[in-house]
Amino acid sequence: MTQPPPPTDGDLVEDPPGSTVAPVPKAVLQALPPSPSRLLLVGADRRLGGELEGLGYSVAARLELDEDVAAALGQLDVDGSLVVLPQPGVVRLPEIEACLAEGHQLLRFEKQLEGGSRWLVTRRDPYVVRAYRPGDESQIVELFAGSFHHRRPLEHWRWEYRDHPLGGPFVSAAFDSGGRLVAHYAGYPARFRKASGEVLSAFQIGDTMTVPEVRHVGRGPTSLLARTGRHFYARCCTGRVAFNYGFNVGNIQKFSTLFLRAERVEPVPFRRLSGPALDRLRAPRRRWPWHRIRTEEVQKLDERWDELFDRVAPSYGLLAERRSKNLSWRYLERPGFDYRIHAAFRGRRLIAWGVFARREETLRWGDLLVDPAHPEALAEVLRSALGGEVGSGAQSVEAWLPDRPSWLRPGWSAMGFEALPEPQDLSLMCVPFTRQGVAAELRHDLFYTLGDSDLF
């Protein structure tokens, strides 16, 4: 299993200079259990411990920030005692991860209170949230089948999470006291290229799910799905990646915005091509000798795909890397899926490609890249697919085709694509980590397609 990169300074949340430990705030006292109860203090001074003892609490231990919190949690009672982590200087991710992994839910999470101090208040309960361990995948695929009413084999899970070209698995999972998987939050890594050449690391989030019987456990930020997402953030994201992203329907959009810091970027740019416009693309055409674009279906990707990406990426503003290695993983190695790749060339030079799949009478155009010097090549790629096995008899073509970059926009209209609301009301969502303001950046610059989601 690939481990996340080592923590960086981004794992520390700085408090205002000169802040001191304030007396126990009223909001924190309201979260504590009735006294007497045993408490564990981390990063707290004696004055604070004395104040809590004066209120009738028993301090099980005082730890410094660099001590083993997970081991010390065993000193607490099993019957629901709380852990208080008042840290006047920093709130560190290892403590958050340790609490969740030892069966403690966070009641006050990085909440800044009077005096500039930040407090973590937790309570023991029967659920443990931890990172993936080998063997968990058998329960994960069963939870997926129950959540989405569609069964995927183990080999598909291994392809998506274990065998990703950029590493994995990156999975956080919640288990009940009997060891049953009850919630799951996961992502696989992605790299984005800006026009300037800057590379941004990100996670695409997918397969967020809980079993129905535990959806009543906790409320909002203390729900099992929110706890599992928070564990994923602490372990894999904060200080390590620029942002997370995913494509969500309305109810998940609301939950993620309220409890997981997500921001809505925009509705996905759904387009459909059908009727006379589709007939025109299928109509035979006379090809003159000077028409130098040729098309073909390909089964193997080589260095020409890398060369095309490097050549054209600066013209796209911001997009996920589309190199031969990750494209082969995504479209040629995925178990149980039949994607067809059609490409356009001038001589031996690759100038455009598209990835297609069939769903009943609809041809789905899932991914593409084109040289801005030859935007007309995209229509040739689509004609090639319509004339091939994957497009034979299709009554419509559906795709996510954004208006960015602006030089691509006329091509969608010229082919006859109509912009429509996405049938499931999907929107692009993101969570910023090292890159603040990323939602506006994505809204302004990002080029993406259906293949950038896990829905194709």
- 154 and 116 both lie in a single domain: no
- 255 and 223 both lie in a single domain: yes
Q: Is residue 439 part of a domain?
A: no
Q: Is residue 257 part of a domain?
A: yes
Ramachandran category for residue 110: left, alpha or beta (phi over 0 → left; psi -120 to 50 → alpha): left
Q: At which of 265, 284, 299 does a domain end?
A: 265
- 259 and 203 both lie in a single domain: yes
Indicate the SS3 state at residue 237. helix
Q: Is residue 358 part of a domain?
A: yes
- 178 and 111 both lie in a single domain: no
Q: Is residue 442 part of a domain?
A: no
> pLDDT value at position 87?
53
Cα 58 vs. chain centroid, distance in angstroms?
41
Q: Is residue 100 part of a domain?
A: yes
> Domains in the chain: how many in total?
3
Contact 135, 179 (CB under 8 A): no
- 294 and 407 both lie in a single domain: yes
- CA distances 362 to 57, 204, 275, 417, 449, Å, are 66, 26, 12, 14, 17
Q: At which of 222, 238, 265 does a domain end?
A: 265
Helix axes 377-387, 275-282, angle to 10 degrees: 90
* Sign of the torsion formed by the C-alpha atoms of 241, 242, 248 and 253: positive
- 221 and 297 both lie in a single domain: no
Q: Is residue 3 part of a domain?
A: no
Q: What is the pLDDT of residues 364-382, one digit of tens each?
A: 999 999 999 999 999 999 9
- 65 and 202 both lie in a single domain: no
Global pTM reads 0.85
Q: Is residue 4 part of a domain?
A: no
> pLDDT value at position 107?
73
> pLDDT value at position 65?
62
Query: Domain of 190?
Result: 129-265
Q: What is the pLDDT of residues 254-299, one digit of tens each?
A: 899 988 899 999 999 999 999 999 999 999 877 655 568 999 999 9
> pLDDT value at position 439?
97
- 275 and 253 both lie in a single domain: no
- 390 and 311 both lie in a single domain: yes
Classify residue 113 by burial, with Cβ atoms within 10 Å: 0-12, 13-18, 19+: middle
- 276 and 202 both lie in a single domain: no
Show Cβ contacts of residue 170 under 8 Å, excluding neighbours closer than 6 positions. Answer: 2, 4, 132, 161, 186, 187, 188, 189, 203, 232, 236
- 202 and 261 both lie in a single domain: yes
Q: Is residue 285 part of a domain?
A: yes
- 190 and 257 both lie in a single domain: yes
CATH at residue 291:
3.40.630.30
Q: At which of 216, 249, 265 does a domain end?
A: 265
Ranges under pLDDT 70 in the chain:
1-23, 25, 27, 43-45, 65-66, 74-75, 77-92, 108-119, 287-291
> pLDDT value at position 251?
83
